[in-house]
Amino acid sequence: MKFAFFDSKSYDKPGFEAFGEKFGIKFKYFDTRLNSDTVNLANGYDGICVFVNDDVNKPVIDKLCEYGIRLIALRCAGYNNVDVKYAKEKGLHLVNVPAYSPYAVAEHTMALLLTSVRRIHKAYIRTRDFNFSLNNFDGFDLHGKTVGIIGTGRIGQAFISICRGFGMNILCYDKYPSDIEGVTYTSLQELFTQSDIISLHCPLNDETQHLINEKTIAQMKKGVVILNTSRGALIDTEALIEGIKARQVGAACLDVYEEESNVFFKDFSSHIVDDDKLARLISMPNVIVTSHQAFLTKEALSNIAETTCQNISDFFAGKQGQNELCFNGDVINCNMCK
Task: List active site positions.
Answer: 231, 260, 292
Going by DSSP bridges, is the β-strand pair 197-200/184-185 parallel, antiparallel, or unpaired? unpaired
Q: CA 64, CA 82: separation in Å to the nearest integer?
A: 13
Q: CA 100, CA 302: separation in Å to the nearest integer?
A: 8
Residue 237: which of 284, 203, 190 has the closest Cα? 284
Q: CA 117, CA 276: separation in Å to the nearest integer?
A: 26
Cα separation values, 84 from 95, 124, 256, Å: 11, 44, 22
Q: Report which secondary-structure segment, H or E, holds 177.
A: none
Q: CA 313, CA 321: separation in Å to the nearest integer?
A: 9
DSSP codes of every residue in 30-53: -SSPPSTTTGGGGTT-SEEEE-TT
SS3 296: coil
SS3 89: helix
**Sequence-distant (≥ 6) Cβ neighbours of residue 126 within 8 angstroms:** 132, 133
Q: How many helices (H) and strands (E) does the chain have?
A: 11, 14
CB environment 50-59: b (16+ within 10 A), e (fewer): bbbbbbbbee
